[in-house]
Structure 1
Amino acid sequence: MLTAFRREIDAIFDRDPAARSYLEVVLLYSGLHAIVLHKISRLLFQLRIPILPRFFSQLARFLTGIEIHPGAQINEGLFIDHGMGVVIGETAVVGKNVTLYQGVTLGGTGKEKGKRHPNIGDNVVIGTGAKILGNITIGNNSYIGANAVVVKDVPANSTVVGVPGRITKQDGKKIETELDHIHVLDPLKQSLEELEERIAKLERKGQ
């Protein structure tokens, strides 16, 4: 247990240049606190003890702003940096040495039961605000850009950006993506057109 705890601390030192001392990390790193509380809730969940697993999960959420379901499988070396708003769903599987930034969601896409959350491979980095949704797999050594929304499998050694997520690099080679820069929707123009259409409908009803 102590060895596993030490590995989690070492993962922080390996990836956070701001980490100054073990005491600072143990006392002040919310990501570490969330992981420790998850280990407790996960153990209770596996023992099929009612209520308490979710209690520790919600305690972690209250203290850290990070919500990890007791059913989620988290492997060693997870580093949650600036973790506020991170959500990891019940059937998610997180590989070794994964890095998550604030606002990341490993979520489902509906009300279906069973396996419905993503599988994250080893050495994956998921940027701020990214959403990985559904029973999909993110391959080892991949990078998911900030605010990307990913709903399809991602091969190993890939870089994904955008909404919806597009692979822009794989195995060190750039992937050409077709982007329509001409027919980009103007949200203000769209809103005005919708408003005009509603007014026209109301006028027709009043006649």
Structure 2
Amino acid sequence: MPNSVSDNAVVDNGFAALRVDLRRKRRHYTRIDNFVNKYIKMTLQWGSLAVMAFRLRQQCHAVKPDILAVLLSFFAWLIEGVLRLFTDCRISPTAKIGRGLVLHNFAGIEIDPALAGSNLTVNQNVCIGRDHTGEGKPTLGDNVFVGAGAKIMGAVSIGNNVVIAANALVISSIPDNCSVVGNPAKIVSRGVTSDYLSFDTE
């Protein structure tokens, strides 16, 4: 069975987590290493804006309610609405997701896990949430890569250091250190060391 999810998913949220989210994307997902690409274009990408809005909502929920928190939460809600309209990208505001979250591509994304650890990478057309029964949400460990078009549905557990290939359908639990492919997803390798798992170790 997968190991327990990192406490990062619980204790690191809001602005503290956002700094790590953006730093990880700059370090590992910027093709041209210059200031404009790493700090301006990357920050203004739709996926980065979605993560910012999500973390802003987290921050507002974590502090004592006041007029500033209400205004910031409303601003985040507006950003989320624009993102949903133009990209169909949504991260549930109640989701608990650890630091290092990267939306590498942004269109058609629905993220609503019970809990996700640190260094989650999500590509386009991904759904993480309840299955058709509506009972239970996925739990993801640390360092999980979800390829384009993949679906993780229902009360399944995904271990640490897992690569979920493009268009895979995950409807059963996956142990640590695996790569899975197919519909339904099947393990094709164990002891995974993949370029897809890009994260900082400090």
Would the alpha carbon gap of residues 57 and 73 (structure 1) be closer, same or farther in structure 2, given more than 3 Å must change? farther
Q: Any idea what the Cα deviations from partners look like across 1:91-116, whole Å, max 9, x if unmatched?
A: 43221111111111102113546xx2
Q: Are 2:18 and 2:55, in contact at CA under 8 Å, matched by a contact in 1?
A: no
Bigger RCO (CA 8 Å, 6+ sep): 2
Match of 2:157 in 1: 137
Q: Are 2:98 and 2:118, in contact at CA under 8 Å, matched by a contact in 1?
A: yes
Which one is further off, 147-156 or 75-84?
Answer: 75-84
Match of 1:99 in 2: 121
By how many angstroms is 1:45 displaced?
Answer: 5.4
Would the alpha carbon gap of residues 8 and 172 (structure 1) be closer, same or farther in structure 2, given more than 3 Å must change? closer
User: Once superposed, what is the RMSD of the aligned Cα atoms?
Assistant: 2.8
1:11 is matched with which residue: 24, 41, 54? 24
2:178 is matched with which residue: 150, 158, 171? 158
Q: Any idea what the Cα deviations from partners look like across 1:154-188, whole Å, max 9, x if unmatched?
A: 00001110000101111259xxxxxxxxxxxxxxx
1:105-144 → structure 2 map (5 Å cutoff) = 105-112=127-134, 116-144=136-164
Match of 2:100, SS? coil
- Report the Cα distance in structure 2 between the residues aligned to 1:93 and 1:60, rounded to whole angstroms: 23
Match of 2:50 in 1: 34
Q: Give the alignment's TM-score, normalised by structure 2.
A: 0.72
Give the total of aligned pairs.
168
Match of 1:77 in 2: 100
- Report the Cα distance in structure 1 between the residues aligned to 2:53 and 2:107, rounded to whole angstroms: 15
Match of 1:65 in 2: 88
Q: Percent identity, aligned pairs only?
A: 30
By how many angstroms is 1:144 displaced?
Answer: 0.4
Match of 2:188 in 1: 168
Match of 1:199 in 2: none
Match of 1:14, SS? helix
Would the alpha carbon gap of residues 172 and 18 (structure 1) be closer, same or farther in structure 2, given more than 3 Å must change? closer
2:42 counterpart of 1:25: yes
- Report the Cα distance in structure 1 between the residues aligned to 2:60 and 2:19, rounded to whole angstroms: 22
- Report the Cα distance in structure 2 between the residues aligned to 1:80 and 1:108, rounded to whole angstroms: 20
Q: Give the alignment's TM-score, normalised by structure 1.
A: 0.70
List runs of 5+ in structure 1 lacking aligned partners: 174-207
Would the alpha carbon gap of residues 171 and 32 (structure 1) be closer, same or farther in structure 2, given more than 3 Å must change? same
By how many angstroms is 1:60 displaced?
Answer: 3.6
Q: Give 1 or 2 for the bigger CA radius of gyration.
A: 1
Letter in 1 for 2:109: V
Q: Are 1:33 and 1:64, in contact at CA under 8 Å, matched by a contact in 2?
A: no
- Report the Cα distance in structure 2 between the residues aligned to 1:77 and 1:12, rounded to whole angstroms: 8
- Report the Cα distance in structure 1 between the residues aligned to 2:52 and 2:185, rounded to whole angstroms: 31
Would the alpha carbon gap of residues 166 and 17 (structure 1) be closer, same or farther in structure 2, given more than 3 Å must change? same
Q: Are 1:121 and 1:138, in contact at CA under 8 Å, matched by a contact in 2?
A: yes
Match of 2:155, SS? coil
